[in-house]
């Protein structure tokens, strides 16, 4: 069966409808209803519990892998593969985000298993965007300095997270950033994401502060910061 390659970012209400239909086909009606309920509840009232972390890239210990993943810097030539990737995830609304990130000068890495794109990672430095929207949105409270990079939105397909591939992906990201001349990487994870906490702590990331934010109707109404 031939899959048509998408060459332009999907956008608009039709994208949301298509993604919901995709969830229905893939996971069933129950999963679709739970997803819709979750979206409605988050729009009305939500909490964001975020752990800000850093890592000295000079401390990255060498590791040996089977090279199951090939890592490349993201370019516009990867966009069609990213769009197909998002469609397989039932998350086509991420198409516009990827295109906009490249338009704004954001940089990233993509992971390939053979010829299949299976993961991505985005990042900025002070010259690109010293105040990324996450920093203000979550109240992370830091500013990028020279030689520092803020990494965001790491994703690897679930079927490729086993057998050490998540560790391999993160290790190769760090190696790529170090080879580009960066000495310190910032990032965050949700505090209840135990697999992510284990992965980052295993790679030597150190917690800086925990930020808990409460939102009502999309507006932040309170924030609590705990220094680590």
pTM for this predicted structure = 0.85
Q: What is the pLDDT of residue 4?
A: 47
Q: What is the pLDDT of residue 131?
A: 82
Residue 64: C-alpha distances to residues 40, 59, 115, 168, 204 (Å)? 45, 16, 22, 9, 17
Q: What is the pLDDT of residue 132?
A: 85
pLDDT < 50: residue spans in the chain: 1-4
- Strand 184-190 relative to strand 148-156: parallel, antiparallel, unpaired? parallel
For 187, list phi and psi in degrees, rounded to 5.
-170, 175
Q: What is the pLDDT of residue 13?
A: 67
Closest to 179 in 3D by CA, of 63, 58, 54: 58
Q: Quick check: 203 and 171 in contact, CB under 8 A?
A: yes
CATH of domain 13-227: 3.40.630.30
Distance CA 98, CA 171 (A): 22
Distance CA 39, CA 41 (A): 6
Q: What is the pLDDT of residue 2?
A: 35
- The domain segmentation of the chain, as residue ranges, is 13-227
Q: What is the pLDDT of residue 7?
A: 61
What digits encode the pLDDT tens for the residues 95-117? Answer: 999 999 999 999 999 999 999 99
């Amino acid at each position: 069966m031939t899959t048509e390659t998408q060459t332009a970012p999907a956008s608009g209400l039709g994208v949301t409808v298509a993604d919901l239909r995709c969830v229905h086909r893939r996971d069933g009606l129950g999963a679709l209803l739970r997803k819709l309920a979750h979206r409605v509840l988050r729009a009305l009232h939500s909490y964001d519990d975020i752990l800000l972390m850093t890592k000295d890239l000079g401390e990255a210990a060498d590791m040996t892998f089977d090279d199951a993943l090939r890592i490349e810097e993201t370019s516009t030539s990867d966009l069609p593969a990213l769009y197909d990737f998002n469609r397989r995830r039932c998350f086509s609304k991420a198409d516009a985000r990827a295109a906009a990130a490249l338009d704004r000068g954001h940089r990233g890495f993509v992971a390939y298993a053979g010829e299949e794109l299976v993961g991505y990672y985005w990042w900025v430095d002070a010259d690109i965007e010293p105040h990324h929207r996450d920093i203000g949105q979550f109240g992370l409270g830091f500013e990028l300095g020279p030689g520092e990079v803020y990494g965001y939105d790491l994703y690897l397909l679930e079927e490729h997270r086993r057998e050490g591939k998540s560790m391999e992906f993160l290790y190769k990201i760090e190696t790529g950033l170090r080879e580009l001349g960066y000495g310190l990487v910032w990032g965050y994870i949700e505090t209840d994401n135990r697999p992510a906490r284990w992965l980052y702590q295993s790679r030597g990331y150190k917690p800086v502060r925990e930020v808990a934010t409460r939102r009502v109707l999309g507006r932040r109404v309170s924030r609590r910061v705990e220094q680590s």
